[in-house]
Amino acid sequence: MGHIEPNLSRRHFVVAGLSAAGGLMLGVSFPNLASAMPLSQAPWSNDAVAANEINAWILIEPDETITIRIPHAEMGQGAGTANPMLVAEELECDWAKIKGEFASPNRNVRENNVYKDQNTVGSRGVATSWQYLQQAGASARARLVQAAANQWKVPAAECVAENGAVLHKASNRRLTYGKLAPDAAKITLDKEPAIKTPDQFKLVGKPLARLDTPVKVNGAAKFGIDTRIEGMTYAAIISCPVVGGTVASVDESPIAGKRGIIKVVKLENAVAVVADNTWRAQEALNALKITWNYGAGASSDTAQMKKFYRDGLNEQLVDVRKDGDAAGVLAQAGKVIEATYEVPHLPHVPMEPLNATVKLSADRVDVWMGTQSALSTLQQAAEVSGLKPEQCFIHNAYLGGGFGRRSRNDEMRQAILVAKDVGRPVKLTWDRPQDMRGDRYRPQAAARFKAALAPDGTIAALETRFAVGSINRSIGRPLENGMEGQAHDGLSNQGYKIPNLHVAGILKNTHLPVNFWRSVGGSQNCFFFESFIDELAYAAGKDPIAFRRAMLDRKDFLTVLDKLEEVSNWKQKLPPGRGRGVAITFNHGSVAGHVAEVTVDNQNRIRVDRVFVAVDCYNVVNPKIIEAQMESGALYGLTAALYGEITVKEGQIQELNFDTQRNVQMSEAPRIEVHITPTGGTTQNGAPKWGGIGECGTAPIAPALTNAIFAATGKRVRELPLKNVKLAEIASL
Partner 1 sequence: MAVTLKVNGQTHTLDIEPEMPLLWALRDELQLTGTKFGCGIAQCGACTVHVGGVAMRSCSVPVGAAAGKDIVTIEGLASADGKLHPVQAAWVAEDVPQCGYCQSGQIMAAVALLKEKPNPTDEDINTITNICRCGTYVRIRKAIHRAATTRT
Binding site for partner 1 (CB under 8 A): 34, 74-78, 209-210, 212-223, 225-226, 228, 234, 259, 277-280, 282, 349-353, 398-403, 429, 431-432, 624, 628, 631-636, 638-639, 657-659, 663-667, 669, 671-672
Indicate the SS3 state at residue 252: coil
The answer for residues whose C-beta is within 8 angstroms of residue 603's C-beta and 6 or more apart is none
**In 249-301, where does DSSP find H-type helix?**
278-287
Decide if 50 contacts 15 (C-beta within 8 A). Answer: yes
Tell me, rounded to whole angstroms, the distance of Cα 175 from its chain centroid: 41
The answer for residues whose C-beta is within 8 angstroms of residue 580's C-beta and 6 or more apart is 568, 570, 574, 595, 596, 597, 598, 708, 711
The answer for residues whose C-beta is within 8 angstroms of residue 568's C-beta and 6 or more apart is 580, 582, 595, 597, 610, 612
The answer for residues whose C-beta is within 8 angstroms of residue 470's C-beta and 6 or more apart is 443, 479, 484, 487, 507, 508, 509, 514
- Please, which residue, 279 or 322, has the CB nearer to partner 1? 279
**In 345-465, where does DSSP find H-type helix?**
374-385, 410-422, 432-437
- Please, which residue, 216 or 549, has the CB nearer to partner 1? 216
Q: Smallest gap, in angstroms, from Cβ of residue 212 to partner 1?
A: 7
Q: Smallest gap, in angstroms, from Cβ of residue 65 to partner 1?
A: 20
Q: Smallest gap, in angstroms, from Cβ of residue 32 to partner 1?
A: 8
- Please, which residue, 229 or 539, has the CB nearer to partner 1? 229
Q: Smallest gap, in angstroms, from Cβ of residue 625 to partner 1?
A: 9
Surface-to-core class of residue 655, CB atoms within 10 Å of its CB (0-12 exposed, 13-18 middle, 19+ buried): buried
CA dihedral 160→165→166→170, nearest 10 degrees, is -80
Q: Smallest gap, in angstroms, from Cβ of residue 141 to partner 1?
A: 28
Q: Smallest gap, in angstroms, from Cβ of residue 559 to partner 1?
A: 24
Q: Smallest gap, in angstroms, from Cβ of residue 663 to partner 1?
A: 5
Q: Smallest gap, in angstroms, from Cβ of residue 132 to partner 1?
A: 25
- Please, which residue, 44 or 547, has the CB nearer to partner 1? 44
Q: Smallest gap, in angstroms, from Cβ of residue 30 to partner 1?
A: 9
- Please, which residue, 74 or 410, has the CB nearer to partner 1? 74
> Do the strands 66-70 and 98-102 form a parallel or antiparallel pair, or are they unpaired?
parallel
- Please, which residue, 11 or 124, has the CB nearer to partner 1? 124
Surface-to-core class of residue 708, CB atoms within 10 Å of its CB (0-12 exposed, 13-18 middle, 19+ buried): buried
Decide if 588 contacts 718 (C-beta within 8 A). Answer: no
- Please, which residue, 36 or 728, has the CB nearer to partner 1? 36
Q: Smallest gap, in angstroms, from Cβ of residue 343 to partner 1?
A: 19
The answer for residues whose C-beta is within 8 angstroms of residue 317's C-beta and 6 or more apart is 465, 504, 505, 506
Q: Smallest gap, in angstroms, from Cβ of residue 693 to partner 1?
A: 12
Q: Smallest gap, in angstroms, from Cβ of residue 29 to partner 1?
A: 13
- Please, which residue, 84 or 214, has the CB nearer to partner 1? 214
- Please, which residue, 309 or 636, has the CB nearer to partner 1? 636
Cis before residue 623, ω within 30 degrees of 0?
A: no
- Please, which residue, 224 or 344, has the CB nearer to partner 1? 224
Decide if 466 contacts 313 (C-beta within 8 A). Answer: yes
- Please, which residue, 31 or 334, has the CB nearer to partner 1? 31
Surface-to-core class of residue 103, CB atoms within 10 Å of its CB (0-12 exposed, 13-18 middle, 19+ buried): buried
- Please, which residue, 34 or 479, has the CB nearer to partner 1? 34
- Please, which residue, 291 or 665, has the CB nearer to partner 1? 665
**In 212-277, where does DSSP find H-type helix?**
none
Tell me, rounded to whole angstroms, the distance of Cα 301 from its chain centroid: 29
Q: If we measure between CA atoms, which residue out of 138, 145, 180 comes closest to residue 159?
A: 145
Q: If we measure between CA atoms, which residue out of 249, 208, 238 comes closest to residue 430?
A: 238
Decide if 105 contacts 118 (C-beta within 8 A). Answer: yes
| Total residue count of the chain as it appears in this document | 733
How many helices and strands (H and E) does the chain possess? 17, 28
Q: Smallest gap, in angstroms, from Cβ of residue 323 to partner 1?
A: 37
